[in-house]
Structure 1
Amino acid sequence: MARIHYVLPALFALGALALSSVFIVDEREKVLVLQFGQVKQEITEPGLGFKLPLIQDVVRYEDRILGLQSQSLEVTLRDNRRLIVDAFARWRITDAVSFREAVGAGGIDSAQSRLDPIISAAMRQVLGSVNSNAVLSEDRTGLMNAIRDIARKQSESLGVEVIDVRLTRTDLPEQNLAATYARMRAEREREAADEIARGNEAASRVKASADRAVVVTTSDARRQAEVIRGEADASRNAIYAEAFGKDPEFFAFTRSLTAYERALREGNSSIVLKPDSDFFSYLNTPNGKPAQ
């Protein structure tokens, strides 16, 4: 019984030591085995790992792609315009040993604090060599790739790889916004005035053309009307002449009646004539014939 009393605690201690020497490596991780702060083993494959209990420690790092939002940065471009720029970078740990030696126990947070100035310096270098039109255009792929390449080269010593850099904001400083908006408004107003002037000019041309067409059409219509009126007068005179030739007395009678109708119409001027005037010749004779 005494032996069992001592053996059981020993077995429990050995089991605890055995369990503490075994660890699991996830497929999303990179693992380092450290002994007194020195790297003894790097494990990149998922599965079981072993270490010396109480002597060695396990440090785990993300093997997935990580993101970094850079600090806002004021950049002076080649055309002396200033922009507030920030970017979003994606990166991953490629060499866990170099990463540990570079950042120490700070891990991911320490790495991001060292990557941020690297990306900012790359942004200053690339954006400072181009004009504002290139930065503010829709296609900035070339600029972002150049920033990525510079940041990737400068961060190799950290044991990481910069996969991608994207410009997320490119704004003017607050003190320049009002002046820029005023200039843009003036340019738009000038363009609007030019468009209005061109529209008025086009409208004047259309109106002049329409007026000319009206004059031409009206003149042609009047000419045709005069021709028709002349032809009608000629026909009428021919009919009158023919009627006068057939019955001169009846023709004279109808002409006299027409003259009476026009002269004696209400509202006409007053006419003073002798009763025996030739004008009333058809009214003075009982049979309606003019006096001889």
Structure 2
Amino acid sequence: MTKAMKKFIGWLIAIVILFILFVLTGPFYIVNEGKQVVITRFSKIVDSHEEAGLYIKVPFLDQVTEYPKLILSLDGDPQSITTKENQYIIVDTTSRWRITDPVAFYQNFQTLDNAYNKLSDIVDSSCRTVITQNRMSEIVRSSNIINERKNTEAEKDEETKEIDKLVNADTVNEVVTKGRSELCRQMTAKAQDEVRGWGIELLDIVPRQVKYSAELNESVYNSMIKDRNQVAQAYRSLGEGKKAEWLGRLENDKRTIASEAYRKSEEIKGAADAEAAAIYAAAYNKDIEFYTFWKSMESYKQNLKDYPATYSTKMDYFKYLYGSDGKR
């Protein structure tokens, strides 16, 4: 092997070793799908990438900070807020946001934790500002369908109308002019104005739970219990009225049926008595003496059955019990 060849091989080995050392220092990095990165050198931003791929950096000098491109959620802490009617309510919100400019985001926050803390304060502030300017009905309702149902009163049956009168169901609720959806848009717009230029897009803010404060819970529950008891009492009163009505009808029907039955029975008895009288008359005309004897026997059986002995001076009544000589 010549001297030149040895020198060439030595340089080749040196180059390979340097290349391996270069690769081992980590000059390459990968940006995955759904990620975006900011490259800093001595705390100064030198580059950023929002597309997935393989990229090169200066080893030991460049730092890669990775942020998600996906939509992120922020669950706020429940907070006590006063409505326009000075009612204290507990509002628990959730919001969605994403990083649209990683460079601006790094300049303002650097880390996601810092962004969460700052964004949470902004969301709570915008939520409080909007809610304090509106009534409770605007916060919990999105339409006036509860009042529109009143227009279908004509479709209800008489019993339902009567129940509604007993429980004062004609009360009209407050008319909603904005509604919950519009208030959510206002919260989002107000918060978005404050984070403008921070590399953040706030998609929405939604109150996931709205409830009365602990001080009002008991009074609200008592009011609901009173209302339900009133409705229950109305149904009981209506039921008692219907019961009395049906019992009255029952008694009238019983009297009507009994009267009609008595009338028919009297007609039947009258017809039977007439027929019996006709039969008796026909029998009497055929044999008067036998008819008189038969009627006397029937009378004895009816009148003397409870008497062991009979004493009377009226002998005509007992003429069939004694002979012509006065003996039995």
Same fold (TM over 0.5): yes
Q: Does 1:279 align with 2:317?
A: yes
> Which secondary structure state, in structure 1, belongs to the residue aligned with residue 51 of structure 2?
coil
Q: 1:22 to 1:208 in 2, by over 3 A?
A: same
Contact 1:111/1:158, CA 8 A, preserved across alignment: no
Quote the residue 2:200 is aligned against: 160
CA distances 1:55-88 after superposition (whole Å, capped 9, x unpaired): 3322111112222110111122233322111122
Distance 2:79 2:273 in 1: 95
Q: 1:116 to 1:271 in 2, by over 3 A?
A: farther
Number of aligned positions between the proteins? 283
In structure 2, stretches of 5+ residues that fail to align are 1-5, 144-179
Query: How big is the shift at 1:224?
Result: 1.2
Quote the residue 1:70 is aligned against: 76
Q: Does 1:35 align with 2:41?
A: yes
Amino acid at match of 1:233: D
Q: 1:216 to 1:130 in 2, by over 3 A?
A: farther
Q: 1:132 to 1:280 in 2, by over 3 A?
A: same
Distance 1:158 1:120 in 2: 18
Taking structure 1 as the reference length, the TM-score comes to 0.85
Write the mapping of 1:51-90 to structure 2, written as runs, cut at 5 A: 51-90=57-96
> Which secondary structure state, in structure 1, belongs to the residue aligned with residue 84 of structure 2?
coil
Greater shift after overlay, 123-132 or 209-218? 123-132
CA RMSD in angstroms comes to 3.0
Of 271, 274, 282, the match for 1:234: 274
Amino acid at match of 1:163: L
Q: Does 1:172 align with 2:216?
A: no
Of 53, 60, 81, the match for 1:47: 53
CA distances 1:93-143 after superposition (whole Å, capped 9, x unpaired): 11111111221x3x1000111111221122223333443344445985444
Quote the residue 2:148 is aligned against: none
Q: 1:285 to 1:142 in 2, by over 3 A?
A: farther
CA distances 1:228-271 after superposition (whole Å, capped 9, x unpaired): 111111111111122212211111111111110111122x7996
Query: How big is the shift at 1:37?
Result: 2.2
Quote the residue 1:290 is aligned against: none
Distance 1:67 1:201 in 2: 58
CA distances 1:266-290 after superposition (whole Å, capped 9, x unpaired): 2x7996412x62110011127xxxx
Distance 1:84 1:120 in 2: 12
Query: How big is the shift at 1:185?
Result: 1.1
Distance 1:270 1:62 in 2: 127
Distance 1:138 1:181 in 2: 23
Write the mapping of 1:96-107 to structure 2, written as runs, cut at 5 A: 96-103=102-109, 105=110, 107=111
Distance 1:16 1:156 in 2: 44
CA distances 1:133-191 after superposition (whole Å, capped 9, x unpaired): 44445985444444334333432332112223332322222222222212211111111
Query: How big is the shift at 1:13?
Result: 5.5
In structure 1, stretches of 5+ residues that fail to align are 287-292
Q: 1:270 to 1:13 in 2, by over 3 A?
A: farther
Point out which structure has higher relative CO (alpha carbons under 8 A, 6+ apart). 2
Write the mapping of 1:214-253 to structure 2, written as runs, cut at 5 A: 214-253=254-293
Contact 1:102/1:157, CA 8 A, preserved across alignment: no
Q: 1:129 to 1:46 in 2, by over 3 A?
A: same
Identity of aligned residues (%): 26
> Which secondary structure state, in structure 2, belongs to the residue aligned with residue 218 of structure 1?
helix
Distance 2:288 2:186 in 1: 114
Quote the residue 2:128 is aligned against: 124
Taking structure 2 as the reference length, the TM-score comes to 0.76
Q: 1:46 to 1:255 in 2, by over 3 A?
A: same
